[in-house]
Amino acid sequence: MAPRLNREELSRKHIMWQVRESLRRLETDYIDLYQIHWPDPNTSKEETIRALADLVRRGLALYTGAANAGPMTWLSSWRRRRG
């Protein structure tokens, strides 16, 4: 596991770093599912959503998901971004 895995940080920089490290350890080009567990109170939800979308756009992950937080937690940020 990555040394900073337990840090609750969902900034774009941290997500991209974690994915690169996972890909290196797994010796693969993409991850089937990259899932976050809790919203990060120190990072805007919009930044997290954009980072997850970029993972899929870049082909680094086929799917992304969020556990332990209902869809309404993320939906308001997504609607503001698209609106």
Reported as a single tens digit per residue, the pLDDT across 52-80 is 999 999 999 999 988 877 666 666 655 55
| Residue 63 domain-assigned (yes or no) | yes
CA atoms within 13 A on the CB side of 7: 12
Q: How confident is the model at residue 32 (pLDDT cuts 50, 70, 90)?
A: very high
The residue range of the domain holding 52 is 30-82
CA torsion angle 40 63 52 48 (round to 10): -20
CA-closest candidate to residue 34, choices 2, 65, 68: 65
pTM (two decimals):
0.76
* 20 lies in some domain: no
Is 11 inside any structural domain?
no
pLDDT band at 1 (very low <50, low <70, confident <90, very high): very low
Q: Per the domain annotation, does 72 fall within a domain?
A: yes
In a domain, 15, yes or no: no
Q: At what angle do helices 45-57 and 71-82 cross, to 10 degrees?
A: 80
By the 8 A CB rule, do 56 and 44 touch?
no
pLDDT for the residue 37: 87
How many angstroms separate the CA atoms of 13 and 18, rounded?
A: 9
